[in-house]
Amino acid sequence: MGEYPRFRTDAAADEPAVTLDAFLEQTNSASVLIEAGDDVQRLLPMLDRVRLVEVDFPRFRDGRGFSTARILREAGYTGELKAVGDVLLDLVYFMRRCGFDSFAPNHPLDPQQVEAALNRYPHVYQDAADDAVPIWKLRHPQLRHE
Query: 10 lies in a domain?
Result: no
Could you tell me if 5 and 102 are in contact, meaning their C-beta atoms sit under 8 angstroms apart? yes
Amino acid identity of residue 12, one-letter, is A
Q: State the pLDDT confidence band at 103, using cuts at 50, 70 and 90.
A: very high
pLDDT of residue 56: 97
5 found inside a domain: no
Q: What is the pTM of this model?
A: 0.87
Is 70 within the bounds of a domain?
yes
Mean pLDDT of 79-108: 94
Say if CB 67 and CB 74 are below 8 A apart: no
The answer to whether position 95 is within a domain reads yes
**78 falls within a domain:** yes
In a domain, 130, yes or no: yes
CB 4 within 8 A of CB 103: yes
List the CATH number of the domain containing 29.
3.40.50
DSSP 40-78: GGGGGGGGGG-SEEEEEESSTT-THHHHHHHHHHHTT--
Can you give the pLDDT at residue 146? 54
Span of 42-46, 71-75, 126-130 with lowest mean pLDDT: 126-130
CA pair distance 57, 118, nearest whole angstrom: 19
Asked whether residue 34 is domain-assigned, the answer is yes
| Number of domains observed in the structure of the chain | 1
Burial 125-135 (b: 16+ CB within 10 A, else e): eeebbeebeee
- Decide if pLDDT at 92 tops 90: yes
Whole-number pLDDT of residue 19:
97
| Mean per-residue pLDDT, 115-139 | 88
